[in-house]
Structure 1
Amino acid sequence: MPDLYPVSRALLSVSDKTGLVELGQALAAHGVELLSTGGTAKALRDAGLTVKDVSEVTGFPEMMDGRVKTLHPVVHGGLLALRDNDEHVAAMGKHDIGAIDLVVVNLYPFEETVAKGAEYAEVIENIDIGGPAMIRSAAKNHGFVNVIVDVEDYATVMTELTENNGQTTYALRQRLAQTAYARTAAYDTAVSTWMAAQVGGTPRRRTVGGTLAQTLRYGENPHQQAAFYTDGSARPGVATATQHQGKELSYNNINDTDAAFELVSEFDPAKGPACAIIKHANPCGVAQGTSMVDAYTRAFDCDRTSAFGGIIALNQTLDAETADAISAIFTEVVIAPNATPEAMEIFGKKKNLRLLTTNGLADPAQAALSFRQVSGGYLVQDKDVGRITMDDLKVVTKRQPSDQELSDLMFAWTVAKHVKSNAIIYVKDGATVGVGAGQMSRVDSTRIAARKAQDMAEAMGLPAPLTQGSVVASDAFFPFADGLITAAEAGATALIQPGGSMRDDEVIAAADEAGLAMVFTGMRHFRH
């Protein structure tokens, strides 16, 4: 296997013309013969470059609306032939097959076509066949052949050709081949995932694809390597946000920022400002308010201690007053649809604070798949997009909840969906006042949330914790009455839970005895 090998002939066929002319000029400067097709050939010729059509080489015209143009032995023989194999070289001579040393292909824009909501037939037409075939042929023969699938690699190849007198190194060809196989795998993943959604059911095989967005300093801990990959989705969020300042996001920053933004996106900005503060992927404060700074302040007052070093997500534009309030404590990340110039100027004085804008909120009802790795495989499920309305609620107690309690119950239920199980959330007047997350016992989550509210009352000099007169949400049913009794002792007056326990009657009886109102949703929100 040679290390350095010359590039004498290149085939270029790209959908994305970015950097194409510069690459073609660099290749021509090294005496490389250019083969091409369709719009790529035209773009190169328009730049004054000499290009031979693939149809001249194959002896066949492009046909069937361009579906068949490079699927020919003259092309694939030129890619797959082993240059140091006498039989291969003889076959090339016998059949007049010229070697192709470089393939430059970026595929039909399938992912973009799906993302724009195209009709079925148009999506099908954007499934590339010839491109992946050439990429795989060239990548398999990387001992001699270079393959470029990303515009980002043009400069690297041009540099190698210059430094090595028109030749590339085996190490580069090997890296290009790996990138190429990953690209075709991700492309086929996009196609198969889309097809699975069209035909329904559970597919026999699932694949996951992604593009490197960032090599991270480390993972959850410094001894773990990590990287951030994007799936090509246009969904507003941490993956598509613009970062305006601060150092690169860490693994934990990205995870927590995603959790914060998905939660705050549940609150329609047309219905008022909302703020979510996240710590270790759990909310430590969520609130709606009359203004953005009011929403932030009310969320912050739920648990000021945990908010230190947290992630803040807003459902409306970050303004100067809110930015000024946030700047009073150390915050890792703030993410919002937009930010005013004045707010950005205030944050500019906080060099370690990352500010991200998304130009919109995520759609909480948008269907997606959730993947989790386990030993030997993956668990795949639909993302939890379940939502309820007032009409879905079933009052199961003698006392009916008041209008204010109903409003707070719906708010608490929305937050519960985003808290790790077992989840207990106390809410009062559109703001969380106690959050219990991730405990093995539901009653422990109830106690912890109440205790944190007590601590905040003492720190703020309040005569009583804000759980007095609050409502409570539980992400799953109360298996025993003890959790409900604990919530009542903390001052809760109404509860929302899925129902469905064998002991529902016992729990309802305890609620009636305590004078509580309770509603069942018929839907749970486990989040493990």
Structure 2
Amino acid sequence: MPSHPRRVTRALLSVSDKSGLIEFAKALGGFGIELVSTGGTAKALKDAGLRVDDVSDLTGFPEMMDGRVKTLHPNVHGGLLAIRNNAEHAAAMTAHNIKAIDLLVVNLYPFEETVAKGADYDDCVENIDIGGPAMIRAAAKNHGDVAVVVDTTDYSLVLEELTRHSGMTTYETRQKLAAKAYARTAAYDAAISNWFAATLNNDTPDYRAFGGRLAQSLRYGENPHQTAAVYRTPNVRAGVMTARQVQGKELSYNNINDTDAAYEAIAEFDPKRAAACVIVKHANPCGVAEGSSLLEAYKKALACDSTSAFGGIVALNRPLDAEAAKAITEIFTEVIIAPSASDEAIAIVAGKKNLRLLLAGGVPDPRDKGLLVKSVAGGLLVQSRDNAVVDDMELKVVTKRAPTAAELSDLRFAFRVAKHVKSNTIVYAKDLATVGIGAGQMSRVDSARIAARKAEDAAKELKLPAPLTKGSVVASDAFFPFADGLLVAIEAGATAVIQPGGSMRDNEVIEAADKHGIAMVFTGTRHFKH
């Protein structure tokens, strides 16, 4: 026998998403369950020929105020909250003619969808559900007696339960449904509160909540001993979570993390300006380039560090074509993500059955606003996205020599890349391609040295007479605290530098640049990334 079985005699259904509703309600009727409903849900059920009582018959009051007031009534909440084996509760139900409601089926007004489609303020407010969350919370609290369904995907679960237990639900199932119900109302309220904060330009509200819906349970986290899952938030920004996986193995935690890093980086490169490719390994770009075609951009990006690119993520800012697909599949690649792909390109990638191909439907806007959240012991660190774009910055020439037009183009390119490399960051670039990247070092000098050394290794592999840092430009994500890091870059062959500036020793750094005849520009904007 099931533990704490409860027979379902009456169900209240009030849903905005009516998918599967009629079939579900008919099945409930087959168990002899009385149906009570509201507004549009009641109409849909009646139109399907089902016998259903209006909630107004239960409350004795008509729906009013454009449907804002219909279920906020003791006859509804008493029916949900009454503890069946509590004599005092039973007496109150008898005295006030309150009928028990054993099953509540509610999915909420589509607030998240309304915001996502860019509706105006009043429309968003009107789509804030009041009665729904109140009933859900009441039923979930009383899960000892009442089953609550907030997700259409759980209709089959409830019907299987009723079939298996002759019209009854078990405590274990009611408990699981209650947990899901509270999680749903929490995510719903989080979406509303965050929308209000954004609307009011309140970056630091007194209370902050975040919620999402399970998109995928993952095999493990960063390491096999860690559990993991990925949740979808009410954020329509194009990227890894909007992407359709065309083929390949299931995405892992690290795949998703690295693919997100790659696609965020590709957002810096306007597809109308040029084709661009970003190759990422362990969340850091190891090769980035622009070109006249995706094939050219990929080859230039790969040349920066082909060793690290093995087993990496490739992000593209234009639809994947056959030429690029053929080149990318020549080495082991974990994921390709692009806005879309040609049928021929999809067929080529299909030859590598484990290679994941993701089509995101668009390219992210690097200027989009949003929040980044990181957990720390006992709390959450929350900040706005780094949506500063070098094209919007006023570059200040601080050296005697100004950069040439070609150098300036490469400087902007290098600074776009530096934004997406873990700090401390040094990026050498030449002809709109990275030629050396130093990432995540405790010392900026070490980043400069590592980037130069990688350029030397690439030159040997490509059988070049000299590293491509000769005649390159260099970008730093933050200021040079001393001239030593700059001197390493000059020794590597850099002829121009872009950096935020703002150090107490800026004059010392500028003097070193002037002494060696190189150009330097300040952006006034830092791009730390931890």
- Smaller-chain TM-score range? over 0.9
**Residues of 1 paired with 2:235 and 2:199: CA distance?**
18
Q: Which amino acid aligns with 1:285?
A: G
State the alpha-carbon separation in 1 of the partners of residues 344 and 313 from structure 2. 21
Query: Shift of residue 108 of structure 1?
Result: 0.5
1:418, CA displacement in angstroms? 0.4
Matches within 5 A, 1:50-89: 50-89=51-90
- Of 53-62 and 3-12, deviating more is 3-12
1:454 corresponds to: 456
Matched residue, 2:122: 121
For 1:198 and 1:345, locate their aligned partners in 2 and report how far apart those are by CA, in whole Å.
45
Tell me what 2:103 maps to.
102
The residue correspondences of 1:311-460 to structure 2 (distance < 5 A) are 311-389=313-391, 392-460=394-462
Correspondence 1:35 to 2:15: no
Alpha carbons 2:191, 2:234 under 8 Å: kept: no
Give the % identical residues. 67
Deviation at 1:199, TM superposition (A): 2.1
CA distance in 2, matches of 1:352, 1:448: 32
- Distance, in Å, in 1 between the alignment partners of 2:338 and 2:389 is 23
2:242 is matched with 240
- Is the CA contact (8 Å cut-off) linking 1:220 and 1:251 kept in structure 2? yes
Q: Does 1:187 align with 2:149?
A: no
List gaps (5 residues or longer) in structure 1: none
Measured after TM superposition, the shift of residue 222 of structure 1 is: 0.1
1:229-270, Cα deviation, whole Å (9 max, x unpaired): 010222111111000101110000000000000110111111
Q: Which amino acid in structure 1 is aligned with residue 347 of structure 2?
A: E
Q: How many Å apart are 1:3 and its aligned residue?
A: 2.2
**Aligned partners of 2:3 and 2:172 also within 8 Å:** no
Residue deviations 1:123-155 (CA, integer Å, cap 9, x gap): 111110000000000000001101000111111
1:2–1:143 contact (8 Å) kept in structure 2: no
- Residue of structure 2 aligned with 1:276, choices 278, 291, 308: 278
**TM-score normalized with structure 1 length:** 0.99
SS in 2 for 1:389: helix
Residue in 1 aligned with 2:312?
Answer: 310
Kept in 2, the 8 Å contact 1:335–1:357? The answer is yes
How far has the Cα of 1:390 moved from its partner?
Answer: 7.2
Q: Look up the equivalent residue of 2:40 and give its one-letter code.
A: G
Which residue number corresponds to residue 488 of structure 1?
A: 490
Q: Which residue of 2 aligns with 1:198?
A: 199
Which residue identity is paired with 2:360? T
Matches within 5 A, 1:220-299: 220-299=222-301
Supply the distance in 2 between the matched residues of 1:328 and 1:51 (Cα, whole angstroms). 63
**Does residue 1:6 correspond to 2:10, yes or no?**
no
Q: Is the 8 A contact 2:11 2:104 kept in 1?
A: yes
1:49 paired residue number:
50
1:91 aligns with: 92
- Counterpart CA distance in 2 for 1:267 and 1:50 is 59
* TM-score (norm. length: structure 2): 0.99
Structure 2, unaligned runs of 5 or more: none
Tell me the secondary structure at the aligned position of residue 304 of structure 2. Answer: coil
Task: Give the partner amino acid of 1:475.
Answer: D
- Structure 1 residues 144 and 390 mapped into 2: Cα distance closer, same or farther (>3 Å)? closer
Counterpart-to-counterpart distance in 1, 2:356 and 2:65? 52
> Helix, strand or coil: the match of 2:223?
coil
Residue 477 (structure 1) aligns with: 479
Q: Which amino acid aligns with 1:249?
A: L
SS in 2 for 1:426: strand
1:287-345 deviation digits (Å, cap 9, x = unpaired): 00011100001000000000000000000010111111011100000000001111111
Give the 3-state SS of the residue equivalent to 1:404 in structure 2: helix
Once the 2 structures are TM-superposed, how far is the Cα of residue 389 of structure 1 from its aligned partner?
A: 2.9
Conserved in 2, the CA contact under 8 Å of 1:427 and 1:471? Answer: yes
1:432-462 deviation line (CA, Å, top 9, x unaligned): 0000000000000000000000001001100
- 1:287–1:298: 8 Å Cα contact kept in structure 2? yes
Instruction: Give the conservation status (yes or no) of the 8 Å contact 2:242–2:361.
Output: no
2: CA distance, partners of 1:251 / 1:219: 5
Name the stretch that deviates more: 431-440 or 380-389. Answer: 380-389
Question: Residue deviations 1:21-61, cap 9 Å, x none?
Answer: 01101100000000001110111111111000000111000
In 2, the alpha carbon distance for the partners of 1:96 and 1:411 equals: 73
Aligned residue pair count? 528
Q: Equivalents in 2 of 1:199, 1:517: separation in Å? A: 43
Counterpart position of 1:217: 219
Distance 1:394 1:474 in 2: 15
Aligned partners of 2:292, 2:121: CA distance in 1, in Å? 45
- In structure 2, the residue matched to 1:524 is 526
In 2, Cα distance between the equivalents of 1:388 and 1:304? 27
Q: Which residue of 1 aligns with 2:179?
A: 178
Distance in 1, Cα, partners of 2:199 & 2:404: 44
Looking at structure 1, the residues matched to 529 and 329 of structure 2 have their Cα atoms a distance apart, in angstroms, of: 31
User: Which residue identity is paired with 2:179?
Assistant: Q
For 2:432, what is the secondary structure of its paired residue?
Answer: coil
Residue in 1 aligned with 2:166?
165
Q: Shift of residue 391 of structure 1? A: 6.2
Question: 1:310–1:333: 8 Å Cα contact kept in structure 2?
Answer: yes
RMSD, matched Cα: 0.9
Residue 16 to residue 390, structure 1, CA distance change in 2 (3 Å): closer
* Partner SS, residue 17 of structure 2: coil
